[in-house]
Amino acid sequence: MEKADGVPPIKIKALNKGGFFFKMEARLQGGIMEKVIAAIDLKSFYASCECACRHLDIFTTPLVCCDPYRSPASVVMSATPYLKKKYGIPNVCRRKDLPRVPGLIFATPRMSYYLRLSSQVVSIFLDYVSSDDLHVYSVDESFLNLGPYLNLYRCGPEELVRRIQGAILDKLGLVTAAGIGPNVFLAKVALDQEGKKKPPFIAHWDYEDVPTKLWPISPITKIWGIKEGTSSHLARIGIRSLKELAEADDGLLEKEFGVMGQQLKDLACGRDESDIENKYEPEERSLCLGQTLIRDYGHEEALLILREMTDDLANRLRRAHSLTSKIAVWESYGGEKGSFARQMALPIATDDTDALYEALKEVFLMDKSPFPLRGLGIVFGRLSDPGNEQVSLFLPNEERNERQDLNAALDAITALYGKNSVLRASSLLKGSTIKVRHEEIGGHRQ
Amino acid sequence: MKDRGMMKWAPYKSLDAQADYLAAMAHEKDKKDKPLLSSEAASEINEILADYRGEKVSARYFEDGYVQERNGVIAEVNAIYKFIKIGGKILSFQNLLGLKILGAEK
């Protein structure tokens, strides 16, 4: 690493590790920084969390995260590396597809516990790097730019990653795998192709490894960023390997893939200019909510579910300080019976629960199918800022204000006392699912 | 073509709840110890309270790991239970870090 001319190393005691001074010290000591990215992944995360709390070893324990009291078709969310290696169980499958395994432990999924552990892992990352140099990619995978910190910790990237891995294992009992590279893409591929596979669960790739380690990967869909459709398209133009992609003509790739052509070539060359510090905040352009129904619902009974989902999504819409001017409904009938989806533009943007329900109901009733429902979803699209709200000519101001106050009061109660603290009386009906849904995260138990 | 940068690595949004847990973790992690109050600052607060004539004030106080600020008129100074009340908020003397007169209340 090169030292910046004229920048003396300044010692500032790292009192606030995640804060400005910590970062400044690291940057000033590091001088001109090269990028060293680590991709760190929690091995079989949900199953590992369950092993950690039972003080069991993920490499010798047969454990799956799956509710044994739900139907045989219920999803196995995660399996230990032991089961994957010895029985070939994929990380995600269905309970009925599990082989007979002596002493198999079924751990009922509990999402809030997993998310709490995941945030504690992120907290450990922040003990080592500033939030500017951390990108949380998913619940079990993050990228860290270690470049600015190597001088501070006086060690190489492998040693720093080992320290972080050790801290996560000591404090939380979770095993991690890591890939290190000169950019996010190569770190990710090093992780997926080598780091995850065997102890010590660290792989370090550099640009010179591209011809020997990246190009031989086959099929090319094994690498991040190349899906089945892209792979077939590449095959149609005679490109079947990453080496061929790296050497392909720019013009041909642009003609076939448009602006994505260059990105594909960059990946095959091991190039990625992503800078973790330049955070990308996607604009939320729509909000959606859906649920799979556990039994057949007639259309009239499903209106109750529609009402409950509208209440929840309208609450999320207001929490996002947004209005919607486009709504959509989708319904599925289960099996091969097909589905229904329709959308509608609203004359004025709104966040009012009742107005949204009336519009959704109108769309819902357009479905004249005789089949009962097994799935229902709603979408609020074309989101806008409440500052641009138009005044309705049809609703008197007083009524509008009353509705706004009511919605605000209900939102405040649920924010303070939980989602089940205030519900419609219809939640007592047999067909209601709202209370159970509120006790789940992502469709799984909390 | 310009590299799409971190747009390529947009995080999975499959679990909205993860963002809430991360925010709660960051909130906990950013908490600081209560700053020490110098004897000069303590006597300055004492003087302002002793001479208080209903002006608008700005109060700096420590609460749950964070330094907060509140502006308003002091509605009550309770010497027995050792607190002041500004805009319905009770601030105990031991959490007060500074008090500044902003001016006469209109």
> Where are the domains positioned within chain A?
1-205, 211-268, 287-445
pLDDT at A290: 87
pLDDT at A425: 92
Q: Do residue A135 and residue B4 have CB atoms under 8 angstroms apart?
A: no
Phi-psi region for residue A121, left (φ > 0), alpha (ψ -120 to 50) or beta?
Answer: alpha
Chain A residues whose CB is inside 8 A of the B22 CB are: 119, 122, 136
In the predicted structure, residue B106 carries a pLDDT above the cut 60: no
Nearest CA in chain A to B11: A137
**Which of A40, A46, A167 minimizes the C-alpha distance to A112?**
A46
Is any Cβ of chain B less than 8 angstroms from the Cβ of A225? yes
Q: Do residue B30 and residue A225 have CB atoms under 8 angstroms apart?
A: no
Determine the topology of domain A1-205 in CATH.
Answer: Alpha-Beta Plaits (3.30.70)
pLDDT at A284: 62
Q: Do residue B25 and residue A279 have CB atoms under 8 angstroms apart?
A: no
In contact, A104 and A76? CB cutoff 8 Å: no
Q: Which of the pair, B104 or A58, is modelled with greater confidence? A: A58
Q: Do residue A118 and residue B17 have CB atoms under 8 angstroms apart?
A: no
The runs of H, that is alpha helices, within A219-298 are 228-236, 242-246, 250-257, 260-268
In contact, A114 and A105? CB cutoff 8 Å: no
The total number of residues written for chain A in this structure? 446
Q: Do residue B9 and residue A274 have CB atoms under 8 angstroms apart?
A: yes
Label residues A199-217 b or e (16+ Cβ within 10 Å = b). Answer: eebbbbbeeebbeebbbeb
Provide the 10 A C-beta neighbour count for residue A229.
9
pLDDT-flagged residues of chain A (< 50) = 1-20, 30-32
Q: Tens digits of per-residue pLDDT, A84-99? A: 999 999 877 889 999 9
ipTM of the prediction:
0.78
Provide the 10 A C-beta neighbour count for residue A253.
21
Nearest CA in chain B to A123: B25
Q: Do residue A115 and residue B17 have CB atoms under 8 angstroms apart?
A: yes
Q: Tens digits of per-residue pLDDT, B23-76? A: 899 999 999 999 999 999 999 999 999 999 999 999 999 999 999 999 999 999
A75 forms beta bridges with: A94
pLDDT at A34: 76
A42 forms beta bridges with: A176
A211-268 is a CATH 1.10.150.20 domain: yes
pLDDT at A233: 93
Identical fold at A211-268 and A287-445?
A: no
Q: Choose among B6, B15, B25: nearest Cβ to A123.
A: B25
What is the separation of C-alpha A33 from the centre of its chain, rounded to a whole number of angstroms? 30
pLDDT at A301: 92
Determine the topology of domain A287-445 in CATH.
Answer: Dna Ligase; domain 1 (3.30.1490)
pLDDT at A71: 79
Residues of B with CB under 8 A from a CB of A: 1, 3-15, 17-18, 21-22, 24-26, 28-30
pLDDT at A29: 52
pLDDT at B104: 66
pLDDT at A49: 97
